[in-house]
Amino acid sequence: MTIFSGLEEIAETDYPLAKRTWYGLGGPADYFIRPKNTEQLKEVVQRCNENGIRIHVMGFGSNLLVSDAGVRGAVIKLEAEQFARVEFSDRGATAWAGAELSKLVLTCVEKGLSGIETLTGIPGSVGGAVKMNAGGNFGDLGAAVETVALMDNTGNIFEKSKPELEFDYRRTNITAKFILNARLKLGAGDPEQIMRTVKEIWIYKKNSQPLNTKNSGCIFKNPRGISAGALIDRADLKGLQIGGAIVSEKHANFIIAEKGCTSDDVMKLIEAIKKGVKEQFDVDLELEIEIW
């Protein structure tokens, strides 16, 4: 590992990514690197650039499908203590990219900070959630984000704030490779009242989503004004199965990975769904999950 010599403690080769994704599918990464601080991250980025190594940034793998062939290049995961910090103030919080979104939601409830309880039940890291403006029927993260600290693919660190920082449905205008942290503007609230909201949202999700299965959340974005799940359902695709991948009977926008499933099975099923919806409704479904 001459490219990353001196960094053996944080860099591994031929690393099995399947164990890092919610799907539990996919092949190995050429390099899997977990920097302990921003200085090490800069060093890793510099070495990747010098050696022409492509960089992928991994959150919690809850919204990711890795191909069976694996990933060429380096997969960088910000999970060390520095990258998992959350600092609270009376008006908000600064959450680093590796912090767990669901834990952050509950800690805010305990502290009587209101503004992100609508994200209850959404898995993943704060960095990934900011990048895709994670959310659901009840709201999205972008509404609470004031400022993000970023690192570009040359190692430069800078900040971006609203209104320069824009959030839209499942997207942002962030082009930097790394989200380091996000400053959230939150309001004071009654912990008991906020917790009631959390419980209501959780019950709704438990009743409407296949939570206790191997899945990656919603596969497709909702077309404007339409539910992707409803379109898939109306196209009579619930229960459609290819290999070990099956369209959930509970929520048609979820693909469940059953025993023996491969990433290729999921990809083929995605294409079959897109084709079926296009033929029936002339709607082109756009992916919400990331595929490597």
Report d(CA 17, CA 24) in Å as an integer: 8
Model pLDDT, residue 138: 83
**Total-model pTM:** 0.91
Q: If you average pLDDT over residues 132-152, what whole number do you get? A: 93
Q: If you average pLDDT over residues 157-168, what whole number do you get? A: 96
pLDDT in tens, 164-193: 999 999 999 999 999 999 999 999 999 999
Q: What is the mean pLDDT of the chain?
A: 95
- Partnered with residue 213 across adjacent β-strands are none
Q: If you average pLDDT over residues 37-48, what whole number do you get? A: 96
With the C-alpha atoms ordered 10, 14, 19, 25, is the resulting torsion angle positive or negative?
positive
Q: What is the 3-state secondary structure (H, E, C) of 105-152?
A: HHHHHHCCEECCHHHCCCCCEHHHHHHCCCEECCEEHHHCEEEEEEEC
Is pLDDT at 137 greater than 90 in this prediction? no
Model pLDDT, residue 90: 83
Q: If you average pLDDT over residues 42-59, what whole number do you get? A: 96
Model pLDDT, residue 1: 60
Backbone region of residue 118 per phi and psi (left: phi > 0; alpha: psi in -120 to 50; beta: other values): alpha
Model pLDDT, residue 153: 87
Is pLDDT at 44 greater than 90 in this prediction? yes
Domains in the chain with CATH codes? 2-77 (3.30.43.10), 84-195 (3.30.465.10), 228-291 (3.90.78.10)
pLDDT in tens, 65-115: 999 999 999 999 999 999 999 999 988 999 999 999 999 999 999 999 999
Model pLDDT, residue 2: 84
Residue 212: pLDDT band by 50, 70, 90 thresholds? confident
Enumerate residues 6+ apart whose C-beta is below 8 A from 264.
67, 68, 243
